[in-house]
Structure 1
């Protein structure tokens, strides 16, 4: 019999047991995640590989609280995600999780500074604006804080997205193909920045990528296929050596 109680030992960033995700209808269910068991410790840098349709983005959505699992147990940053509804997941994400997506997802009517500060303001921070300005300075955009997304290049928009994700100093950062919409040179700059900001904060990082060279820079490489983790290996070069 499977034990569905996720352990909550010290140093546990993510603990998943028999995690499932089924979409579609009752008459025509579609199994997306098929019993994921996963332990990720605090501070680990983990790459998630796999072909399109293997379940990578769905797994990240569940682990980050953007999607609720259909079954199993999940503990993230000390919170029991499997016991929370959508509102509870949204509250649990605040300050605990930072997310960087391929499509940036900046609000077009807000400046760079406002895009970074607003989530912290909504979470009740009383120093959101100075923290946002400091984080934008840290990602090399101190001179672009008053610019709107349409006035920024793709690389600059992704820098804003990284600042937004890291400004609250989350314990865990999720990045889903963060260079997918960028040219190779800009993408490399963004990866260097993401690793640098993660190193500064000591956050756990889980990054979806198709880049084997990037994966080799991580502490661990998980490979998915057909909704399951089919391999879990240690990279030859630890992330700390690449920072």
Structure 2
């Protein structure tokens, strides 16, 4: 039986140098037979280190599913994936969890904080799993960096939505991952709070040097990134750099 996994003499194209995400012909299908649904249909993607990439698309276009397979939350049905130096092709649940550790941070629309843990404990857990020598001290530093130095002992239910997302951001960036995946990070927040979180996220990315993959339906938010891809029906239909005012050449 043959395998689609790249060998030592067959590197995944774009998997070296300053490329932190290299995906080739990635597919994702759910169900079998007549009930089978093809969600991703042969996606190719390269993302450079330090890049801010936005993925736009209507509901059901496959953008969140693409993030799930690239971040290791979901196993792709086919294709090859290299993320932050880890070959994620064909890995099972345990292998994907190990590949994510220390390499990938994730912020979701639903904050997914552990309700029985304080803000400090929520941030400290991934630091401890990543082998940090003093996770509680590092967690305090991360919470201070997102403006929550006075809320470390509070539980998620005692925090506002904006504060919970700050904790989620601190938790994601604490282990200094090479890549931050953010799926509609302001979706559960009001406009003013969402703007504050976005500004904070971009500032922390600048400080930590992490690459950003942002899933959003907001074209204005996408325009803050370096590059925008648009998905439709499980495929990438456009891929272009963001044109900023300073980049425009007068006619």
Contact 1:118-1:128 within 8 A present in 2 as well: yes
CA distance in 2 between partners of 1:186 and 1:213 (Å): 16
Under a length normalisation based on structure 1, what TM-score does the superposition of the two structures give?
Answer: 0.94
SS in 2 for 1:156: helix
Match for residue 228 of structure 1 among 229, 232, 235: 235
Identify unmatched segments of 5+ residues in structure 1.
239-243
List structure 1 runs of 4+ shifted beyond 3 angstroms.
2-5
Larger radius of gyration: 2
Match for residue 225 of structure 2 among 209, 218, 225: 218
Deviation at 1:40, TM superposition (A): 0.3
CA distance in 2 between partners of 1:34 and 1:51 (Å): 16
The answer on 1:66 being equivalent to 2:73 is: yes
Deviation at 1:27, TM superposition (A): 4.2
Deviations 1:201-230 (A, max 9, x none): 111100011111111111000100000000
Aligned position for 2:249: none
How many residue pairs get aligned? The number is 237
Aligned position for 2:123: 116
CA distance in 1 between partners of 2:83 and 2:130 (Å): 18
Match for residue 125 of structure 1 among 122, 125, 132: 132
Deviation at 1:3, TM superposition (A): 11
CA distance in 2 between partners of 1:215 and 1:221 (Å): 7
CA distance in 1 between partners of 2:149 and 2:34 (Å): 53
The answer on 1:136 being equivalent to 2:143 is: yes
Contact 1:14-1:39 within 8 A present in 2 as well: yes
CA distance in 1 between partners of 2:244 and 2:166 (Å): 25
The answer on 1:19 being equivalent to 2:26 is: yes
Deviations 1:120-161 (A, max 9, x none): 212332211111000000000000000000000000000000
Match for residue 150 of structure 1 among 134, 150, 157: 157
Identify unmatched segments of 5+ residues in structure 2.
246-251
